Structure 1
Amino acid sequence: MNLNVSSFSLLSLTLLLLFSPTVTADNITHAFEKYSNFSTMSDLFTKTKLTTLISKYQTITLLAVNNNNISSITNKSAIELKNILMTHVILDYYDELKLKGMKEKSIMLTTLYQTTGLGEEMNGFLNCTKSKGRVYFGSGVKGSPLNAEYVTTLYHNPFNLSIIQITMPIVAPGLSLAVLPPPPPPVPLAPAPAPSTMNAAMAPSPSPMSGATPPAPAPAPGPGKEDNASDSNVPKLTPETETPEVDSPAPTPSADNEKIEAADKAGKTSSACKTRFSFEVVVLLMVFLLALLGFKLELDHVV
């Protein structure tokens, strides 16, 4: 009994695989034919013969970009373009229902480029991240931006073929130069109001201690017509040579200084006079004593 059940299950699985629908080039072409705004990407898949390669797989999800946003990769070489388009082919099935049911997280998706064996540093994988209810796609290489956002599902044949729209093409590092989203248009700035005369007059002048450079003086008004007429008659003045610095004269002595100097001189003179008078008195006294001594000796001699 168990053998019969096992045989029946194996037969059912074999029949399911034999008669299950597969992705074909016609399916992809017909799916794109319904959307004329995606004709450029449909032509690129046909020119690079990727539709034939895709038909070997039973489950495929194509990431499509409309004609307005795909121009950034149309000028690439044939090899670059084929490699870039292969990274837009996911070897799994995703549609709006499956993407909306994703949890807030990031998952890695295998692309057709990974099957070539040329993938390096995860550039054969896509990073699919859901954040705040929105789904973003980017290269699986670490640090790559998630610039391509999910828009809508264009075509879906459950678990066989799905074509979903994203906002811009994804270019993995190593395949070509990265494609960045266009910058937002600049916001015009309102012109600043011109300062009034009163505000200009009330503005504080820079302090010399602050180190700020003082504003340059306004140029002198140009000569009038009469001044221009007389310029030819006026000789030009040669620049004056710098005069050498002259030592400033000594300060004139004041009256108090003169009195002090006169008193000093008088003091010195009086001291000299006193010294001289004392010396003369001593000399006269000695002469008197000698004379007295001589007189006494003479008196003794007479006696």
Structure 2
Amino acid sequence: MNLNASLSLLSLTLLLLLSPLVTADNITHAFEKYSNFSTMSDLFTKTKLTTLISKYQTITLLAVNNSAIVSITNKSAIELKNILMTHVILDYYDELKLKGMKEKSIMLTTLYQTTGLGEEMNGFLNCTKSKGRVYFGSGVKGSPLNAEYVTTLYHNPFNLSIIQISMPIVAPGLSLAVLPPPPPPVHLAPAPAPAPMDAAMAPSPSPMRAPTPPAPAPGPDDEDNASDSNVPKLTPETETPEVDSPAPTPSADNEKIEAADKAGKTSSACKARFSVEVVLLLVFLLALFGFKLELDDVV
């Protein structure tokens, strides 16, 4: 029993070692028989995934027909390549192996997982068998299993298998790939400067105006007249309370007269005071002289 198991394992190992690598020609040749899958074949060629796949000995492609793959053809080149890489399983599955599955779910490793960009299991596929049918979906938790197995298009045991599914699988996060930066903006040439205007059309400079002299300051007489004109006139129909108007400012002539009067009064006062002092001095001298005479008589 152990000898038979060892021989079987050795035979399988030799078969895998001697099996040819999956080449781009093999994939292209396999799709040539099915014109209904020409769009997917072209996408694998444009994204150069056929060259990347040729590094592996065992591959299973999940193929989608032309009418179903239209839903992802509007993606960017990077997004489209990432999505197609999740349709490349790094193992061999054909109709016989899928139908022999038990009613359970298994995780399948895809080519996208080898890039190191996988997040939250989006580099894996969930393959589930339920009620005799096989469904595929993203390995991300909660992702729907809505891509159903249809048939096997091509199979080379333990080397290459191409199976058809009902619709493409878009794992969460693959459509948010970083896009290449846009090209630098094109700088437009500056607009030409307007042509100079003719001398006849050019506006002539306006003549300079002499500065307006400042208005003379109002004199005392003008202020009197202005104050008189500003006093409202009373009409017999209405009575307004009397308002004390400010005293008129004396004119220059009045100021001179008042100054002269003050000077005259001051001079008269000085003269009167001088006369009184002279009289008092004379009275004092006379009294002193009389006192001296009396003193002489006594002696």
The verdict on how the C-alpha distance between 1:74 and 1:197 changes in structure 2, with shifts beyond 3 A counting, is same
SS at match of 2:106: strand
SS at match of 2:61: strand
8 Å CA contact retained: 1:86, 1:113: yes
Of the structure 1 ranges 117-126 and 286-295, higher mean CA displacement relative to structure 2 is found in 286-295
Q: Residue 52 of structure 1 aligns with which residue?
A: 51
Q: CA RMSD in A?
A: 20.7
SS at match of 2:184: coil
Gaps of 5+ in 2: none
- 1:155-184, Cα deviation, whole Å (9 max, x unpaired): 000010000000000000000179999999
1: distance between equivalents of 2:56 and 2:175?
Answer: 26
2: distance between equivalents of 1:162 and 1:81?
Answer: 21
Of the structure 1 ranges 128-137 and 18-27, higher mean CA displacement relative to structure 2 is found in 18-27
Of the structure 1 ranges 11-20 and 119-128, higher mean CA displacement relative to structure 2 is found in 11-20
SS at match of 1:52: helix
- 1:271-291, Cα deviation, whole Å (9 max, x unpaired): 9999999999x9999999999
The verdict on how the C-alpha distance between 1:295 and 1:143 changes in structure 2, with shifts beyond 3 A counting, is farther
Q: Residue 289 of structure 1 aligns with which residue?
A: 285
Aligned length: 299
What is the CA distance between 1:22 and its match in structure 2?
1.4
- 1:74-96, Cα deviation, whole Å (9 max, x unpaired): 01000000000000000000000
Q: Who wins on radius of gyration, i.e. which is larger?
A: 2
What is the CA distance between 1:240 and its match in structure 2?
48
SS at match of 2:60: strand
Taking only the aligned residue pairs, the percentage that are identical comes to 93
The verdict on how the C-alpha distance between 1:10 and 1:167 changes in structure 2, with shifts beyond 3 A counting, is closer
SS at match of 2:144: coil
The verdict on how the C-alpha distance between 1:291 and 1:51 changes in structure 2, with shifts beyond 3 A counting, is closer
8 Å CA contact retained: 2:155, 2:161: yes
What is the CA distance between 1:20 and its match in structure 2?
1.9
- 1:11-61, Cα deviation, whole Å (9 max, x unpaired): 989975653221100000000000000000000000000000000000000
2: distance between equivalents of 1:266 and 1:119?
Answer: 117
2: distance between equivalents of 1:298 and 1:22?
Answer: 175
Q: Residue 257 of structure 1 aligns with which residue?
A: 254
TM-score by length of 1: 0.54
8 Å CA contact retained: 2:78, 2:177: no
What is the CA distance between 1:198 and its match in structure 2?
91
8 Å CA contact retained: 2:107, 2:125: yes
SS at match of 1:296: helix
1: distance between equivalents of 2:82 and 2:110?
Answer: 10
- 1:189-243, Cα deviation, whole Å (9 max, x unpaired): 999999999999999999999999999xx99999999999999999999999999
The verdict on how the C-alpha distance between 1:175 and 1:158 changes in structure 2, with shifts beyond 3 A counting, is same
8 Å CA contact retained: 1:206, 1:212: no
The verdict on how the C-alpha distance between 1:256 and 1:51 changes in structure 2, with shifts beyond 3 A counting, is same
SS at match of 1:26: helix
Of the structure 1 ranges 232-241 and 74-83, higher mean CA displacement relative to structure 2 is found in 232-241
8 Å CA contact retained: 1:91, 1:110: yes
TM-score by length of 2: 0.55
8 Å CA contact retained: 1:59, 1:91: yes
Of the structure 1 ranges 115-124 and 17-26, higher mean CA displacement relative to structure 2 is found in 17-26
2: distance between equivalents of 1:284 and 1:119?
Answer: 135
The verdict on how the C-alpha distance between 1:236 and 1:51 changes in structure 2, with shifts beyond 3 A counting, is farther
